[in-house]
Amino acid sequence: MRKRTKLLLALGAVAGVAAWLAVTTEPSDWRYPKLLLTQLPKMPFRYFV
């Protein structure tokens, strides 16, 4: 698989997680989504480690 395809897949997965969080999270449980949201920009890079 080409690196560009992999990166697109990684970004897609991250976007999917973000959408999932937005749909499933209740306002009272904000800390875990906040933790994940702060980590989201780092996840595509972690995919290559």
Interactions with other proteins, residue window 4-43 (CB under 8 A): 6, 9-10, 13, 17, 20-21, 24, 29, 31-32, 35-36, 39-40, 42-43
d(CA 5, CA 21) in angstroms, rounded, equals 24
Residue with tokens 């999917």: 16
Rounded to a whole number of angstroms, the minimum distance from the CB of residue 7 to other proteins is: 9
Sequence-distant (6+) residues with CB within 8 A of 44 are 7, 10, 11, 14
Q: Which residues sit at the interface with other proteins, rule CB under 8 A?
A: 1, 6, 9-10, 13, 17, 20-21, 24, 29, 31-32, 35-36, 39-40, 42-43, 45-49
